[in-house]
């Protein structure tokens, strides 16, 4: 019977998946390790060892990608966790219109990143832009959001938070709904405050949802390309260049080996940041 | 007697206090609600209003980038211009995006459900393959080797190429969703089917696949949005004027002669219509799928 049953799940059902996933994702990924050590023109290649990687770490315009990518990934992650949790708590409370509000908050997640990028870069125009016009009404002189190299990266990160906070909120809402209400009732009987309820019940018990948000936001943040491309193109200077946009620039300039090395570095970077956090979070979750 | 009176008085007072407290809290609730709606309208409403109102202005009006009502109201002109620009490149882009989205989705559904069926049922296979599938979820695709490979196979800049590629890049996510769901279908069902003389094909396509409908609809909604909105892969692997997809049409209006904001915003609105329709009809489905997929996957 058992052997019979296994025959019911033949390995050849895996063949289409292996063909497509293998050919179009796994093989190029494996190849990228080889070509990152070469001077490559697509038709011809020459093995040059670690030169591409050395160049990546030596040239300031390339090296800045690491710092920017980290700043961007952690800023957007933090923003999405804090705002998402706050919104979720608000949207699971006893307010009316919460279905409408949930929809409003979630909708940007469905829009094209490029369209959102163009819209926000227009709204962030230093003199004419809507954001600074509104700020001037309340007496604040808004900064040059995308033109000032010190804050341009944060302006892009804010836009990313605006677009992505809806997903975080929805995940948090699902997590909060799963918390049994009798915990809150018990705390109320014991005379606990709303703050205590949040601190001792909501926060620890929304951990699984929070872990999901953290992982999704981090991986998304580390890989971001299109938002930066639409909003600043990496500028001013190289102040908003992320690893993914550097990979594109090197590719567009015809430095295929260097671009591939950037790809490998991005690959390793994601693995280095995401896997330990993934492991750490999973261990903590078991403890609960 | 007097004690009684006092106690009633106390009760009355307590009741009064409770009513007061309830009033206070409901007033606080009202303030909170109003505040919530106002904040949501400011942060989420203004960008939408901004795009909408500027897509109705003329060139000069839109370039002011403000929220004022259009002086020269161009209700449909801008949209007509966007749709007829460069021999209807936007319409062609809509066509291309639809073809790519529909065919990639079909491929994803077939390959992922079949693979998940075997992965979830064969003992130990899921654990062994887990990391191979997970890297597809985390690691960005390597650009130049993929282009080189596509060129070698004669698939660069072709529909079969981009469709297979999108399917390959979305495999991990859909496969994990399907694998988790197949695990919840009792194995007894397979045994019963075997008793009735089902072969593997009939078992999968006639018994299991119809039961996977909830995941399939989640995958349809989530992956279609992702593929439709995909910019990066189209930029790299599907370049060329004939191959325009909706996201790349936005490029047309940010040329060297300055941005034509009135047309740009009209195009932004046009390409947002399909997600909007999907959202209106599948709002609940999207949210359920999002949470189910994210929390478990």
For residue A220, tell me if it sits in a domain. Answer: yes
**Nearest beta carbon to residue B291 from set A6, A174, A263:** A174
Task: Name residue A46's beta-bridge partners.
Answer: A39
Which residues 6+ apart lie within 8 Å of B203 measured at CB? A8, B190, B193, B194
pLDDT confidence of residue A286: 45
Q: How many domains does chain A have?
A: 1
B44 Cα to chain A: minimum distance (Å): 7
Mean model confidence pLDDT for chain B: 86
**pLDDT tens digits along B237-280:** 998 878 889 998 888 787 666 788 888 999 999 999 998 888 88
| Shortest CA distance from A11: residue in chain B | B118
Of all residues in chain B, the one with the smallest CA distance to A100 is B37
Q: Which of residues 74-133 of A touch B (CB under 8 A)?
A: 90, 93-97, 101-108, 110-116, 118-120, 122-123, 125, 128-130, 133
Q: What angle do CA A277, A21, B174 make, to 5 degrees?
A: 60
* Mean pLDDT, residues B108-132: 90
Whole-number pLDDT of residue B65: 82
Q: Residue B42: count other Cβ atoms within 10 Å of its Cβ.
A: 11
DSSP at A56: H
Residue A206 lies in a domain: yes
Considering CB atoms only, which of B44, B168, B272 is closest to A20?
B168
Cα–Cα distance, A165 to A77 (Å, whole number): 9
Q: Looking at the partner chain, which of B44, B110, B145 has a beta carbon nearest the beta carbon of A31?
A: B145
Which has the closest alpha carbon to A37: A12, A10, A55? A55
Contact status of A282 with chain B (Cβ, < 8 Å)? no
Q: What percent of chain B has pLDDT over 90?
A: 38
pLDDT of B297 over the 60 cut:
no
Give chain A positions within 8 Å (CB) of B278.
Answer: 110
| CATH number of A75's domain | 1.10.3720.10
Does A145 contact chain B (CB < 8 Å)?
no
Could you tell me if A48 lies within 8 Å of chain B, comparing CB atoms?
no
Pairing type for strands A38-40 and A45-47 reads antiparallel
- Name the closest residue on chain A to residue B145, using Cα atoms: A28
Cα(B128)–Cα(B106) distance, rounded to whole angstroms? 27
Q: Rounded to whole angstroms, how far apart are CA atoms A15 and A29?
A: 19
Residues of chain B contacting residue A214, judged by C-beta atoms under 8 Å apart: none
Range of the domain at A198: 36-281
CB contact, 8 Å: B173 with chain A?
A: no
Residue tagged 């660069």 (tokens)? B156
Q: Dump pLDDT digits (tens) for B47-78.
A: 999 999 888 888 877 888 888 888 777 778 88
Q: What is the pLDDT of residue B256?
A: 60
pLDDT of residue A285: 52
Q: Among candidates A32, A276, A250, A31, which has minimal Cα distance to B138?
A: A276
In a domain, A2, yes or no: no
Residues B101-123 have a mean pLDDT of 95
> Rounded CA gap, B41 and B192, in Å?
55
What is the mean predicted confidence (pLDDT) over B189-213?
90
Residue A13 domain-assigned?
Answer: no
Q: Give domain limits for chain B.
A: 2-45, 86-291
A125 in a structural domain: yes
Q: How many CA atoms lie within 13 A of A95 on its CB side?
A: 23
In angstroms, the separation between the Cα of residue B4 and the nearest Cα of chain A is 28
Give me A201's structure tokens: 């019940």
Q: Kindly report, residue by residue over B162-178, the tens digit of the pLDDT.
A: 999 999 999 999 999 89
What's the confidence (pLDDT) of residue A2? 56
> What pLDDT does B109 receive?
97
Asked if residue A222 belongs to a domain, the reply is: yes
Residue B296's pLDDT band (cuts 50, 70, 90) = very low
- Window 21-80 of B: residues touching A by CB (8 A cutoff) are 29, 32-33, 36-37, 40, 43-47, 50-51, 64-67
Cβ-defined contact of A175 to B295 (cutoff 8 Å): yes
The answer to whether position A22 is within a domain reads no
Per-residue pLDDT tens digits of chain A, which is 288 residues long: 455 677 788 899 999 999 999 999 999 999 999 999 998 988 888 889 898 999 889 988 899 999 999 999 999 999 999 999 999 998 888 777 778 888 888 889 999 999 999 999 999 988 888 898 889 888 888 888 998 999 999 999 999 999 999 999 999 998 898 888 889 889 888 888 888 889 989 999 988 889 889 988 999 999 999 999 999 988 898 999 999 999 999 999 999 999 999 999 999 988 888 778 777 776 655 443
In chain A, residues with a C-beta closer than 8 Å to the C-beta of B196 are: none
Which B residues in the span 240-269 are in contact with A, Cβ-Cβ below 8 Å?
246-247, 250, 254, 261, 264-265, 268
Contact A9 B122 (CB under 8 A): yes
Domain B86-291 falls under CATH 1.10.3720.10: yes
Kindly list the residues from chain B whose CB atom is less than 8 angstroms away from the CB atom of residue A10: 118, 200
Q: Is position A189 within any domain?
A: yes
């Amino acid at each position: 019977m058992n052997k019979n049953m296994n025959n019911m799940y033949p390995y050849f059902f895996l063949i289409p998946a292996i063909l497509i996933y293998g050919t179009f994702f796994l093989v190029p990924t494996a190849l990228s390790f080889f070509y990152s050590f070469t001077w490559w023109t697509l038709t011809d290649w020459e093995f040059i060892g670690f030169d591409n990687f050395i160049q990546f770490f030596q040239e300031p315009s390339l090296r800045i990608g690491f710092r920017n990518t980290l700043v961007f990934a952690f800023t957007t992650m933090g923003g999405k966790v804090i705002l998402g949790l706050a919104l979720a708590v608000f949207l699971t409370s006893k307010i009316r219109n919460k279905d409408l509000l949930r929809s409003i908050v979630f909708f940007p997640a469905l829009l094209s990143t490029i369209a959102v990028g163009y819209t926000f870069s227009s709204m962030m125009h230093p003199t004419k832009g809507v954001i600074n016009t509104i700020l001037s009404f309340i007496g604040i002189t808004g900064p040059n959001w995308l033109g000032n190299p010190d804050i341009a990266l944060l302006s892009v990160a804010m836009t990313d938070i605006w677009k992505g906070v809806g997903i975080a909120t929805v995940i948090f809402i699902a997590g909060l709904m799963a918390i049994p209400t009798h915990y809150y009732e018990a705390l109320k009987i014991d005379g606990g405050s709303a703050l205590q309820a949040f601190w001792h019940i909501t926060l620890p018990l929304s951990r699984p949802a929070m872990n999901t948000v953290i992982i999704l936001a981090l991986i998304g943040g580390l890989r971001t390309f299109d938002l930066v491309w639409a909003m600043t193109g990496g500028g001013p200077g190289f102040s908003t260049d992320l690893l993914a946009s550097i990979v594109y620039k090197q590719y567009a300039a015809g430095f295929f080996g260097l671009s591939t090395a950037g790809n490998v570095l991005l690959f390793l970077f994601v693995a280095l940041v995401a896997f330990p956090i993934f492991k750490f979070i999973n261990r903590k979750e078991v403890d609960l | 007697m007097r004690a009684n009176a006092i106690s009633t008085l106390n009760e009355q007072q307590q009741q009064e206090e409770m009513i007061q407290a309830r009033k206070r809290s409901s007033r606080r609730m009202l303030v909170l609600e109003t505040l919530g709606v106002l904040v949501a309208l400011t942060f989420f409403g203004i960008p939408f209003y901004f795009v909408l109102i500027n897509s109705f202005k003329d060139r000069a009006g839109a370039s002011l980038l403000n929220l004022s009502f259009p002086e020269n109201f161009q209700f449909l002109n801008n949209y007509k211009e966007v749709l007829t620009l460069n021999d209807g490149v936007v319409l062609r882009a809509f066509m291309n995006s639809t073809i790519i989205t529909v065919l990639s989705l079909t491929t994803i559904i077939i390959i992922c459900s079949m693979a998940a069926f075997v992965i979830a049922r064969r003992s130990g296979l899921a654990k062994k393959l887990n990391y191979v599938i997970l890297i597809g979820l985390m690691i960005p695709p390597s650009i130049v080797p993929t282009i080189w490979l596509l060129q070698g196979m004669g698939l660069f800049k072709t529909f079969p190429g981009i469709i297979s590629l999108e399917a390959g890049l979305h495999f991990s996510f859909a496969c994990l969703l399907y694998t988790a769901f197949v695990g919840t279908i009792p194995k007894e069902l397979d045994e019963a089917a075997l008793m009735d003389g089902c072969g593997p094909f009939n078992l999968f396509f006639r018994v299991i696949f119809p039961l996977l409908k909830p995941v399939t609809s989640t995958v349809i909604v989530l992956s279609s949005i992702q593929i439709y909105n995909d910019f990066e892969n189209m930029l790299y692997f599907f370049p060329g004027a004939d191959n325009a997809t909706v996201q790349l049409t936005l490029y047309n209006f940010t040329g060297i002669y300055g941005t034509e904001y009135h047309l740009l915003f009209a195009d932004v609105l046009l390409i947002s219509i399909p997600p909007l329709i999907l959202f209106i009809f599948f709002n609940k489905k999207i949210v359920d799928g999002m949470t189910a997929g994210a929390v478990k996957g």
